[in-house]
Structure 1
Amino acid sequence: MKSTTLTLIAGLFLAPQFQALAADHDHNGHTMPAGQAMDTAWADGTIKKINADVGKVTISHGPLANLDMPAMTMVFRVKDPIWLSQIKPGDRIRFVAERQDGALTVTALQPGR
């Protein structure tokens, strides 16, 4: 009887702490970290042609996983036209392409690996 009473008192004393732990349990660890999620959108490519007058660039690229596209050479708009002055044909790049307003657009650009 004494042991049952002691267990009951201990349980009542610890219950609020377990409740606090349960309330703090979220599922943030069950999602892909932002860095990894973004990494799947990056693709490798080579600049083939730049048309600064219309803000477009031709890129020979590997698969674009986020757009479900195989490797090919194609023309893209660029999010920031200033990028076109920082690259030249033959440059290897890493880039992110997304569909924006119905057009394929380079939304991020960095030197290739």
Structure 2
Amino acid sequence: MKVAPLSLAFLLATVAVPGMSQTADHNAHHPVAAPANETAEALPFAEAEVRRIDTAANKVSLKHGEIKNLEMPPMTMVFQVSDPALLGKIKVGDKVRFTATQVNGAYTVMSLEPAP
């Protein structure tokens, strides 16, 4: 009978589908684009720890606290950096304060400084 193989296939499909629906989606954080006139000085600071630095791609991975202007909860994620010189001021493991916004759809660090 073909009932056993069909039952097994159905069981495997129902177990796999819920796991696939729980993929990470940063857009679910209801990102808010910064107004065109918003500068780094006007953005609120967030606290973070530097996890990785990719100077070739102009990116930094930060384990950050809440980013209020982006309505983003604490997490670890990769950001573009608005000015490559910012990456020369930090090293992995540093505690920093930073501002971030969306630039052309990409989360971007606008300013970065050592945490007090």
Q: TM-score, structure 1 length as denominator?
A: 0.64
Task: Work out the CA distance in 2 between the residues paired with 1:38 and 1:61.
Answer: 19
Matches for 1:1-113 after TM superposition, within 5 Å: 38=42, 41-113=44-116
More helix by share: 1
Q: Could you tell me whether the CA contact under 8 Å between 2:86 and 2:111 is conserved in 1?
A: no
Runs of at least 5 residues in structure 2 that lack an aligned partner in the other structure: 1-40
What is the CA-CA distance between 1:76 and the residue it aligns to?
Answer: 0.2
What is the CA-CA distance between 1:38 and the residue it aligns to?
Answer: 3.5
Taking only the aligned residue pairs, the percentage that are identical comes to 42
Matched length: 76
Q: TM-score, structure 2 length as denominator?
A: 0.63
Give runs of ≥4 in structure 1 deviating > 4 Å.
none
What is the CA-CA distance between 1:102 and the residue it aligns to?
Answer: 0.6
Which amino acid in structure 2 is aligned with residue 99 of structure 1? Q
Q: Which has the larger radius of gyration?
A: 1
**CA-atom RMSD, angstroms?**
1.4
Task: Work out the CA distance in 1 between the residues paired with 2:94 and 2:52.
Answer: 10
Q: Could you tell me whether the CA contact under 8 Å between 2:100 and 2:108 is conserved in 1?
A: yes
